[in-house]
Amino acid sequence: KSCRFYDRQCPLYTMPRCLPPSSMSEAVITNSIIGDGCILDGCVIRGSVVGMRTRISDEVIVEDSIIVGSDIYEMEEDVMRRKGREKQIDIRIGIGEKSRITRVIVDKNARIGKNVMIINRDNVEEGNREAQGYVIREGIIVILRNAVIPNDSII
């Protein structure tokens, strides 16, 4: 027996994705695409793609990058509940204050701390740092899914 997609007696269900519009407070965005449900506070985004539910904090600069986004909104209560149990104690999903991201692909649900510089300062072409949460391919840094980049890191 085949599936009848139009039969009212046998409906198909999926989880609807009804996200709010993106919130941009004092953000400067040029030549970029911003997905639904993003929270962008006081940041600068140039020539980049920002996926759904991405949170970018104050004084962050994102250039020529792709940020895939996240599966969930992480609230302050979630961070406090986790405190002391996991290494990403105070690092929320998204990009923390005063960070700079240039020519980077940030995969889903990554946590980038405060004052982080991901700029490939040594111009590395190939590198495998999976244990630290990233790889470098053809000079492009890729932050892995669910990775945690600690505060004050320089890549």
Rounded to an integer, what distance in angstroms lies between the CA atom of residue 3 and that of residue 147?
A: 40
> Is 141 inside any structural domain?
yes
- Indicate if the pLDDT at residue 88 is higher than 70: no
**Alpha-helical runs (H) found in the chain:** 76-82
**Would you say residue 5 lies in a domain?**
no
Q: Would you say residue 63 lies in a domain?
A: yes
Contact 107, 143 (CB under 8 A): yes
* Residue 8 maps to a domain: no
Look at residue 74 in the predicted model and tell me its pLDDT.
Answer: 83
In a domain, 136, yes or no: yes
Q: What is the pLDDT of residues 1-39, one digit of tens each?
A: 566 666 777 776 666 678 899 999 999 999 999 999 999
First to last CA, the chain: 56
pLDDT value, residue 38: 96
Residue 81: helix, strand or coil by DSSP? Answer: helix
97-150 pLDDT, tens digit per residue, is 999 999 999 999 999 999 999 999 999 999 999 999 999 999 999 999 999 999
| One-letter-per-residue 3-state SS of 63-79 | ECCEECCCCCCCCHHHH
Measure the CA dihedral 83/108/75/30, to 10°: 130
Say if residue 94's pLDDT is above 90.
yes
What pLDDT, in 10s, does the model give residues 36-82?
A: 999 999 999 999 999 999 999 999 999 999 999 999 988 777 666 76
- pLDDT of residue 96 exceeding 80, the answer is yes
Give 126-140 pLDDT, tens digit per residue.
Answer: 999 999 999 999 999
- The β-bridge partners of 118 are 101
In a domain, 15, yes or no: no
**What pLDDT shows up at residue 87?**
52
Q: How many domains does the chain have?
A: 1
Q: Are strands 134-137 and 55-56 parallel, antiparallel or unpaired?
A: unpaired
CATH number at residue 40: 2.160.10.10
Residue 143 near residue 134 (C-beta atoms within 8 A): yes
**Statement: residue 89 has pLDDT above 70:** no
Full residue range of the structural domain in which residue 138 is found: 23-149
Q: Is residue 16 one of the residues assigned to a domain? A: no
Residue 12 falls within a domain, yes or no? no
